[in-house]
Amino acid sequence: MLDLSLAICTYNGKQRLPAVFDRLRSQINLEQVRWEILVIDNNSTDGTAEWVNQEQQSALNHCLPTIRYIPETQQGLAFARQCAIENAQGPWVAFLDDDNLPDEHWIAAVHQFAQANPNAGAFHGKVRGDYEITPPKHFDRIAAFWAIGGGRTVRCYTTNPEASRKRLLPPGAGIVVQRQAWLDSVPTQLQQVGRVGKSLVGSEDIEAMVHLSRSGWEIWYTPDMCLDHRIDQSRLTREYAMRLMH
C-alpha cells in the first residue's frame, strides 16, 4: 500500500517538467516512504506526453517510483486536480505545478507531517520565489498573489483565531490533501475551474479549501516543506499583475 501520491498538473510543460523531475530525483530520506508520481496532462500539444513516456522508461535508472501519465481533456486546473484525486492510489495527494521545484527533503517532510496529523484535510509549506529577473520594487507586498510566502512556525488555519477572522486559507502551490477528505467534502465540479488559456481567473484552490474547512477538517502550514516557484519575466509585468489581481 502506498503512503502518498505526488500529482504534477501540467499544460504544455515539456520545457518545465525536466527541472521538476531533477528535484524529484534528488529527494532524500525516503527509505520508509512508498509513493508514486502522477503526471496529469491537461491537453498539452507540445510533446509533453512523449517526454513523460521517455521518463517512464528511464525511471528505474533514476531511482524514481512508478510514474503514471494520465490525460485530462477538460481544460482547467480544477479538472486536472480532480482527475489526480480520482486516480491516486495513496491516501494523501501532494500537488505540484510544473513550475514548482521542491527542496530535497520535501517528500519526506510531506510524509512526516501527514503521519503526525491524521485530522488534517490539507496542509502546505513555504513557497519561495525563483525569479527570472529581479522583481519590481515593493513586489513583496503583493507576492502572495503569486502563491509566494510562508513563515517560521507551524500554524493551523482552521483553529487560529486570527486566521479564521481574516478567512485565511492556503493557495494551491505545493498543497497536500487527504484523498478521502477531498472525496467526501469537495464537489467534483467546482464553481471556479482554474486558469484557462489567457484568463488568469483562479481561486479554485481556495474554493476546495473552503469545502474542506466547512466539513471540519484541519488545514495547516508547516515550514518544513519548502519549494521554489519559478516566475518568468512575463509574469513580472504590470499588465500581468493587473490581470492576476482582478
- Give tens-digit pLDDT for 73-112: 999 999 999 999 999 999 999 999 999 999 999 999 999 9
Quick: pLDDT tens for 137-154. 777 777 777 678 778 899
- Give me the residue label for grid cell 474554493: 207
User: In what helix (H) or strand (E) does residue 208 lie, and over which residues does it extend?
Assistant: helix 204-214
Q: Are 12 and 44 in contact (CB under 8 A)?
A: yes
- Give me the residue label for grid cell 484568463: 199
Stretch 209-217: mean pLDDT: 93
What is the number of other CB atoms lying within 10 angstroms of the CB of residue 87? 16
State whether residue 43 is helix, strand or coil: coil
pTM: 0.88
Higher pLDDT, 233 or 88: 88
Write out the three cell numbers for 176.
Answer: 497536500
State whether residue 33 is helix, strand or coil: coil
Domain ranges of the chain: 4-127+153-193+203-226
pLDDT at residue 217 above 80?
yes
Under the banding of pLDDT at 50, 70 and 90, the label for residue 198 is very low
State the angle between helix axes of 77-87 and 204-214 in degrees (0 to 180), rounded to the nearest 10: 50
Task: Report which of 232, 121, 106, 231 is spatially closest to residue 186, judged by C-alpha positions.
Answer: 121
Task: Report which of 52, 80, 32 is spatially closest to residue 205, judged by C-alpha positions.
Answer: 80
Q: Are 85 and 179 in contact (CB under 8 A)?
A: yes
Quick: pLDDT tens for 148-192. 877 889 999 888 755 554 456 777 789 999 999 999 999 987 765
Under the banding of pLDDT at 50, 70 and 90, the label for residue 199 is very low
What is the spatial distance between Cα 219 and Cα 120, in angstroms, rounded to a whole number?
A: 6
Stretch 9-16: mean pLDDT: 97
So what's the architecture of 4-127+153-193+203-226 in CATH?
Answer: Alpha-Beta Complex (3.90)
pLDDT attached to residue 61: 60
pLDDT attached to residue 165: 46
